[in-house]
Amino acid sequence: MRTHPLNTDFAWRSGPTEPTFLTAEQVAAFDRDGYCLVENAFSAATIAELAAAIDPWETATTEFLQTQPDGALFIAQADSITFTVHLVARDETCRTFTRHPSLLGVAADLIGPDVRMYWDQAVYKKPEREREFPWHQDNGYAYVEPQQYLTCWIPLTDATIENGCPWIAPGIHRRGTLEHGAGRYGLTCFDTVPGDEREPVPVEAPVGSAVVFSSLTPHRTGPNLSDPSRPDSVRKAYIVQYAPAGAAVQRGDEVVVADAPDRQYEVLRAGVAA
């Protein structure tokens, strides 16, 4: 387990001792383990509306993948796992959701008063027997400075061990970005959690909750082993990422500020919804 070549002077920044939305226990868990589960963050009606808006976009993604060789493109595969990205640039329901008071409360407590959208995508994991998404950090896919931004993993269907809920490797986030290499199903920072680290933790998340973790928290999801004949067999999640204002992607000598107006817009300015 080696650090990323650009990760030379990282120091973890702890959350507030007196948060305004999260509990002190949730902030402490986030600092210690790299994640916390926020229950009852959204109403059932809000999530149903969001899923209804996303489903047609995901169907279009699946149909596109079916036109590709072997029904796959990079790590997406039509009959296994799909990634439908930048929905906020195309769908008003998704864009509005990214300003939900619960999400802004989490972002204010764990990032600060000035926050922008960084990335959004729907990930639909379909029943399968083999694919296990590998251990990775979100900052391993595109190196962002500051390294410490935020992922909110929002289940649109109940996420369970059986259908591929997230697994977290606790504590490793404090080392900053790790070096990633190519794995069978995407970039990975290690194959199995090293023996001197704490045991991985599955995070089952019911509809209405959010799994909140750092961009530096190693995580993976297991295969979806649901019975494919069940109407709810597809595990659906919407992932929203927030970064501090001024965050930039480092691509070699190139620095790209994350401020694309259609999808990386302000959500908080001086602690107030923008």
Contacts of 235 (CB under 8 A, 6+ apart): 124, 125, 126, 155, 157, 159, 163, 164, 165, 224, 226
DSSP-assigned letters across all residues of 178-208: BP-EEETTEEES-SS--TTSPPPEE--B-TT
Q: Which residue has the tokens 């493109």?
A: 73
231: phi then psi, degrees, rounded to nearest 5: -65, -20
Percent of the chain topping pLDDT 90? 89
Element of type H or E holding 141: none
Q: What is the pLDDT of residues 30-52, one digit of tens each?
A: 999 999 999 999 999 999 999 99
pLDDT, position 196: 82
Phi-psi region of 40 (alpha: psi -120 to 50; beta: other; left: phi over 0): left
Segment 78-89 mean pLDDT: 96
For residues 243-266, average pLDDT: 95
Q: Phi and psi for 125 in degrees, rounded to 5?
A: -105, 120
pLDDT of 129: 66
Write the pLDDT tens digit of every residue in 195-220.
Answer: 888 899 999 999 999 999 999 999 99
For the chain, the distance separating the N- and C-terminal CA atoms, rounded to the nearest angstrom, is: 40
pLDDT at 131 (0 to 100): 67
What are the backbone angles phi and psi of residue 92, rounded to the nearest 5°?
A: -70, -30
CB 177 within 8 A of CB 140: yes
What does the pLDDT look like over 171-193, one tens digit per residue? 999 999 999 998 877 889 998 88
How much of the chain exceeds pLDDT 70, in percent? 99
Q: What amino acid is encoded at 35 in this protein?
A: Y
- Domains assigned to the chain: 24-273 (2.60.120.620)
Report the Cα 15 to chain-centroid distance in Å: 19
Whether the CB-CB separation of 252 and 160 falls below 8 Å is answered with no
Q: How many CB atoms lie within 10 A of CB 104?
A: 20
Asked if residue 200 lies in contact with residue 160, where contact means CB atoms within 8 angstroms, the answer is: no
Judge whether 132 and 220 are in contact, CB under 8 Å. yes
